[in-house]
């Protein structure tokens, strides 16, 4: 702590004052602690007032800078139903979280549908790529160690049936969905925590957004149950969703900003393989 001989308000002191305030300490107790360390009372009070005023101004500015909220997909969960009918198919509601909006569904796909998707995808798997927000293209990324492929929307009768079921389940137009992506994670493979929305501040985002606007929702469907590992993790809220064949996790994000708390990742598979089908949902029609 700075002594009375220098009385210089440093960045370290400002951080300490902010930490005390955010921990719930009373202003008079903060000033008393500073005086106990040798600070002049007037200097301590001025440092406290100036630091907290600047902090409040910064918080207000950050809130004003948030992108506006937009409509998002939303399952019909009023009244906390135990299950939903989506295209005549029963889907169980296992978990429903509101902040962030995360819903875990049971039995979204049958085991036969899961097997059929894996069989269709297996001959077309390549090393997975991620969107390059700096250019609008795609690239192999060390954070994603899986094999994958995309189906065109409506590519087969099976794909069409699944896409119609998803659209009915989350109350979002079928045409606003990207094509299903199939991923296979071998032992040790993972996808480090990331956000699915496109950062509007990056130069490549303008090109990406021309194809249907922002992503506003994600549905990850588990096509098998790995022997161990492979949970979908949400670090901001300490949530882990176990990969169970036929089940799915849905989450939405009403603005492209970390305030949505939808940071998520795929934990490493430790035994066996993990297969998933991912459906990203856009604001508008994806073309």
Output the domain CATH number for residue 176: 2.60.120.620
* Domain match, 110 and 46 both: no
Half-sphere exposure (CA, 13 Å, Cβ side) for 214? 22
Residue whose structure tokens are 């969960």: 77
Q: Rounded distance, CA 282 to CA 215, Å?
A: 4
* Domain match, 194 and 52 both: no
**pLDDT number for residue 22:** 84
Helix (H, G, I), strand (E, B) or coil at 60: helix
* Domain match, 198 and 101 both: yes
Does the residue 118 lie in any domain?
Answer: yes
Task: Please write the tens of the pLDDT for every residue from 149-198.
Answer: 999 999 999 999 999 999 999 999 999 999 999 999 999 999 999 999 99
**pLDDT number for residue 7:** 76
DSSP string for residues in 188-235: T--EEEE-SS--TTSTTHHHHHTTTS-EEEEEEEESS--SEE--EEEG
Tokens standing for 264?
């998520």
**pLDDT number for residue 57:** 78
* Domain match, 17 and 92 both: no
* Domain match, 139 and 43 both: no
Q: Which domain holds residue 274?
A: 83-282
For the CA atoms of 208, 214, 216, 218, the dihedral, rounded to the nearest 10 degrees, stands at 0
**pLDDT number for residue 3:** 44
Does the residue 218 lie in any domain?
Answer: yes
Q: Which residues of 212-226 are buried (b: 16+ CB within 10 A; e: fewer)?
A: bbbbbbbbbbbbbbb
Q: Rounded distance, CA 91 to CA 84, Å?
A: 5
Helix (H, G, I), strand (E, B) or coil at 251: strand
Task: Please report, for the chain, how many H helices and E strands are present, in that order.
Answer: 6, 17
Q: Look up the pTM and report it.
A: 0.75
* Domain match, 59 and 188 both: no
**pLDDT number for residue 4:** 42
Residue whose structure tokens are 């549905």: 219
Does the residue 1 lie in any domain?
Answer: no
Q: Please report, in tens digits, the pLDDT of each residue of the chain (287 residues total).
A: 444 446 788 988 999 999 898 888 999 999 999 999 999 999 999 999 999 999 887 766 655 678 999 999 999 999 999 999 999 999 999 999 999 999 999 999 999 999 999 999 999 999 765 555 555 545 445 555 689 999 999 999 999 999 999 999 999 999 999 999 999 999 999 999 999 999 998 888 999 999 999 999 999 999 999 999 999 999 999 999 999 999 999 999 999 999 999 999 999 999 999 999 999 999 999 99
* Domain match, 236 and 200 both: yes
* Domain match, 136 and 184 both: yes
* Domain match, 142 and 34 both: no
Helix (H, G, I), strand (E, B) or coil at 52: helix
Does the residue 287 lie in any domain?
Answer: no
Does the residue 78 lie in any domain?
Answer: no
* Domain match, 40 and 155 both: no
Q: What total number of domains does the chain contain?
A: 2
Does the residue 91 lie in any domain?
Answer: yes
Q: Where are the beta strands (DSSP E) in the chain?
A: 83-86, 89-97, 101-106, 126-127, 129-131, 138-140, 147-150, 181-185, 191-194, 215-222, 228-229, 232-234, 239-241, 248-252, 264-266, 269-271, 274-282
* Domain match, 128 and 201 both: yes
**pLDDT number for residue 1:** 44
| Contacts with 160 (C-beta within 8 Å, 6 or more apart), sequence order | 154
Does the residue 76 lie in any domain?
Answer: no
* Domain match, 36 and 142 both: no
| Contacts with 244 (C-beta within 8 Å, 6 or more apart), sequence order | 106, 222, 225
Does the residue 134 lie in any domain?
Answer: yes
């Amino acid at each position: 702590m700075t002594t009375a001989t220098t009385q210089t308000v440093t960045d370290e002191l400002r951080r300490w004052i902010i930490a005390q305030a955010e921990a719930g300490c009373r202003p008079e107790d903060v000033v008393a602690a500073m005086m106990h360390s040798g600070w002049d009372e007037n200097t301590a009070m001025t440092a406290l007032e100036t630091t907290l005023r600047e902090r409040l101004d910064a918080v207000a500015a950050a809130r004003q800078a948030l992108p506006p909220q937009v409509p998002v997909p939303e399952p019909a969960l009023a009244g906390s139903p135990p299950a939903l009918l989506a295209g005549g198919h029963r889907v169980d509601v296992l978990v429903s979280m509101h902040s962030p909006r995360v819903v875990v569904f049971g039995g979204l796909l049958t085991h036969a549908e899961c097997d059929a998707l894996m069989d269709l995808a297996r001959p077309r798997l390549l090393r997975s790529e991620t969107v390059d927000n700096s250019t609008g293209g795609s690239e192999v990324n060390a954070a994603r160690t899986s094999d994958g492929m995309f189906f065109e929307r409506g590519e087969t009768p099976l794909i069409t049936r699944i896409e119609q079921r998803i659209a009915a389940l989350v109350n979002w137009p079928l045409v606003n969905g990207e094509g299903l992506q199939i991923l296979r994670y071998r032992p040790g493979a993972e996808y480090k925590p990331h956000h699915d929305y496109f950062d509007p501040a990056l130069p490549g985002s303008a090109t990406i957004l021309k194809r249907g606007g922002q992503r506003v929702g994600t549905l990850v469907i588990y096509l098998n149950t790995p022997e161990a590992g492979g949970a979908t993790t949400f670090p901001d809220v300490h949530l882990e969703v176990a990969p169970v064949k036929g089940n799915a996790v849905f989450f939405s994000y009403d603005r492209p900003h970390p305030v949505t708390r939808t940071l998520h990742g795929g934990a490493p598979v430790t035994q066996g393989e993990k297969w998933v089908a991912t459906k990203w949902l856009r604001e508008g029609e994806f073309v």
